[in-house]
Amino acid sequence: MGFDEIIGQRIIVESLRNAVKNNMISNGYVFSGPKGCGKTLMAFIFAMALNCSGEADNRPCGNCSSCIRTSKSNHPNVKLVMPTGHSIKIKQIREIINDSSKKPFESGYKIIIIDNADKMTNDAQDAFLKTLEEPPEKTVFILLSENYSLLLPTIVSRCQVYRFKPVNSIDMKTFIEDRFDYMSMDIEAAVKHSRGIVGRALELLGDRESFNTYTLYIDILDKALTGNGNDAILMVSEAVSDKETAERFLEFSMSWFRDVMVLKESPGSHDNLIINAGSLEVLSRHNSVLTEDKLNSIIDIIKKTFRYVKYNVGIKNSIAGMLFSIAEVNSNNG
Ligand SMILES: [Zn+2]
């Protein structure tokens, strides 16, 4: 395990490699980016590099005792802190502070990785800030966050901030092909829906069945909205066989049009709010053909269909009727 395991993020990798090589280490780092973009992996590889006993320009070597223990999450100097429940509480931060003021168990750096750092409560952030202001020697804090703007600006300003970028499709495809045994066609589809996030592509590949269902759902809604109501209805039996599958399709439809509504109401600042973020292209297209009134009508139609299905009123016919109504709403002018 080393920096080569990381796909994309070349600037971040180079910068961390140089920091290790030249022994220019900050006390605080923020790794920011969406779930699945590789922040945790990067943090552990950086932690390995910091305590690696290999040659200076080839750290982490991946072979020394320190590297091996870090890669197995088994190094006494490397700690990972995560939210308990919904937040990281002041008690947890006090423990870290206490811990980091003691001498490291082994020589070298103490590394404290805080996952979902933006989930620190206000008290916890205040306490943490004090530690960052007077950091213990040879201690490195790595804060991982999907949204670092939720961290106190005074914390951020004391850290080196690295923002993870989406990985381009070609690099991602090659990376997955080299390491996994999936069919090339499947890799392509997963990469397309991953929005540049490796973890998401791998998740989709690992859960092939739900991925297929997901693309079928989108297909059905897309057909209904683009004036092919009959085609959409013909596909219903593929997606819906009983009450349970009907409810799953309805829940998906609801999340889909809710996403379109988010796009309409907050264009540009929707990153964390969109559920079906992997299909932004189709969502945007639907946003451009639907007015807010039409969207509201569609959401009402879905709610009504939920009730029919709940009471077992002709399940497949109810879903077909819903798709027909959606097609009709969109073909009405105005
Ligand atoms: Zn090593």
Is there a single domain that holds both residue 172 and residue 299? no
Distance 68 CA to ligand 1 centre (A): 7
The answer to whether residues 81 and 47 touch, using CB atoms and an 8 Å cutoff, is no
Distance 61 CA to ligand 1 centre (A): 4
Is there a single domain that holds both residue 200 and residue 248? no
Query: What residues does 139 pair with on adjacent strands?
Result: 110
- For 301-326, the pLDDT digits (tens) are 999 999 999 888 889 999 999 999 99
**Cα 80 to Cα 78: distance, rounded to the nearest angstrom:** 7
Is there a single domain that holds both residue 192 and residue 311? no
What's the first-to-final CA gap in the chain, in angstroms?
58
Distance 65 CA to ligand 1 centre (A): 7
Give me the phi and psi of 286, to 5 degrees please: -65, -35
Give me the CATH number covering residue 32.
Answer: 3.40.50.300
Span 84-100, mean pLDDT?
90
Is there a single domain that holds both residue 191 and residue 233? no
Is there a single domain that holds both residue 131 and residue 175? no
Distance 26 CA to ligand 1 centre (A): 20
- Total count of domains within the chain: 3
Block residue for tokens 């996994």:
180
Distance 128 CA to ligand 1 centre (A): 30
Which residues form the domain of 184?
167-206
Distance 62 CA to ligand 1 centre (A): 5
The answer to whether residues 88 and 79 touch, using CB atoms and an 8 Å cutoff, is no
Distance 67 CA to ligand 1 centre (A): 4
Distance 69 CA to ligand 1 centre (A): 10
Is there a single domain that holds both residue 195 and residue 314? no
**Cα 30 to Cα 175: distance, rounded to the nearest angstrom:** 25
Distance 50 CA to ligand 1 centre (A): 9
With cut-offs at 50, 70 and 90, classify the pLDDT of residue 222: very high
Distance 39 CA to ligand 1 centre (A): 20
Q: Is 69 exposed, middle or buried (0-12, 13-18, 19+ CB in 10 A)?
A: middle
**Per-residue pLDDT at 271:** 60
**Cα 96 to Cα 295: distance, rounded to the nearest angstrom:** 49
Distance of CA 212 to the CA centre of its chain: 20
With cut-offs at 50, 70 and 90, classify the pLDDT of residue 185: confident
Span 5-12, mean pLDDT?
92
**Per-residue pLDDT at 129:** 95
Is there a single domain that holds both residue 48 and residue 100? yes
Is there a single domain that holds both residue 46 and residue 150? yes
**Per-residue pLDDT at 152:** 96
Is there a single domain that holds both residue 15 and residue 40? yes
Give me the CATH number covering residue 219.
Answer: 1.20.272
**Per-residue pLDDT at 228:** 79
Is there a single domain that holds both residue 265 and residue 241? yes
pTM for this predicted structure = 0.69
The reply to whether omega before 34 is within 30° of 0 (cis) is: no
